[in-house]
Amino acid sequence: MKMVFRWYGEGNDTVTLPQIKQIPGVEGIVWALHDLPAGEVWPLDRILEVRQLADQHGFHIEVVESVNIHEDIKLGLPTRDGYIDNYKKTIENLGKVGVKVICYNFMPVFDWIRTDLFKELEDGSTALFYEKVKVDSMDPMELVGKIAANPDFTMPGWEPARLKHLSRFFEAYKQVTEEDLWNNLQYFLEQIIPVAEINDIKMAVHPDDPPWSIFGLPRIMTSQENIRRLLKLVDSPSNGVTLCSGSLGVNPNNNLPDMVREFADRIPFAHIRNVRLYENGDFIETSHRAADGTVDICGIVKAYHENGFTGYARPDHGRHIWNEQCRPGYGLYDRALGIMYLWGIWDSLERSKQEVTL
């Protein structure tokens, strides 16, 4: 297991590279050019700037999260081919600097949804929270009206740039079914996977967060069955999955350790985090400790260990603790604690393995 840490870049993150350097076992940063809109080519000179910064602190930049996909590709519009060509060029540029994994998602309109960025837990820390009834009762057209009346209106996890075009997006997706989305994903993968293979890069789709339909929009990366279907669309080692225990874990029907065992050779990147799921469908993100949530963190790490996982892993989201002022879900302190918890499980499994062989 190769431990990495997500970093949003100088001037865009309260966490610094020297701080990350002090977390035991972290080999590289997970990064992106966050200021570039989806669909644009990532210039090689910008990519080299990131590598130069990482090199100064002894980090690799082998994992990118995310190269976002333009909405026209997901919608299957005639304009998609131009954006796919740009995506290919970005893959080629990333390959030139040694990138090995590109995490992406195929979620229509919204990458992730929460109703509260700083919900308080019993211990006084705060975390990302999802209130099911609040989302289920939202009328998307009411949101369009609020945005029209107040250009500064925002919602947790919804970028203002996308909110401005919300009405157009909802209209465009009215006729798009899940099967349409599957077809559009297959078309995209058939175009880019050969380029990824040539450049020794693995594409790793992120599951939908949460893994069910929101506002009637189609969502397809939701379950073990659907991941199995994804991997068959283009049967290549370069077509893989970012297995996120937090995203998939809020559906109690998803067996995460079983997914790890089945897809082990097609998981180049692992997001390991915990959530607490409530009976009414609400969920809140917790510490990584297994007892704090409802995700089988120990079973997941054990499954990775048993299958000789040599891919990249990161602690993913964390709580906001010790009054840290940070990007929601991406504080330094709790993610660092999460890494040490994951290493503790891994090291104990390594010790047990050694004792068995003696």
Asked whether residue 155 is domain-assigned, the answer is: no
Asked whether residue 169 is domain-assigned, the answer is: no
Asked whether residue 141 is domain-assigned, the answer is: no
How does residue 12 score in pLDDT terms, banded at 50, 70 and 90? Answer: confident
Q: What is the pLDDT of residue 155?
A: 57
| CATH number for position 233 | 3.20.20.150
Q: What is the pLDDT of residue 112?
A: 86
Least confident segment among 200-209, 213-222, 305-314: 213-222
Say yes or no to pLDDT of 2 above 70.
Answer: yes
Mean pLDDT of the chain: 93
How many domains, in total, are found in the chain?
Answer: 1
Query: Smallest Cα–Cα separation from 293: which of 324, 325, 317?
Result: 317
Asked whether residue 144 is domain-assigned, the answer is: no
How does residue 165 score in pLDDT terms, banded at 50, 70 and 90? Answer: confident
Residues 6+ apart with CB under 8 A from 216: none
Least confident segment among 30-39, 144-153, 217-226, 303-312: 144-153
Q: What is the pLDDT of residue 147?
A: 63
Expressed as residue numbers, the domain containing 72 is 2-132+177-357
Catalytic residue numbers, as ranges: 206, 244, 271, 316-317, 330
pLDDT digits (tens, 9 = 90+) for 228-268: 999 999 999 999 999 999 999 999 999 999 999 999 999 99
How does residue 298 score in pLDDT terms, banded at 50, 70 and 90? Answer: very high
Asked whether residue 105 is domain-assigned, the answer is: yes
Asked whether residue 163 is domain-assigned, the answer is: no
Q: What is the pLDDT of residue 358?
A: 57
Report the predicted TM-score, pTM, of the whole model to 2 decimal places. Answer: 0.94
Q: Where are the alpha helices (DSSP H) in the chain?
A: 17-21, 44-56, 71-75, 80-96, 132-136, 140-149, 160-163, 166-172, 178-198, 224-233, 245-249, 256-263, 297-306, 332-357
Asked whether residue 273 is domain-assigned, the answer is: yes
Asked whether residue 336 is domain-assigned, the answer is: yes
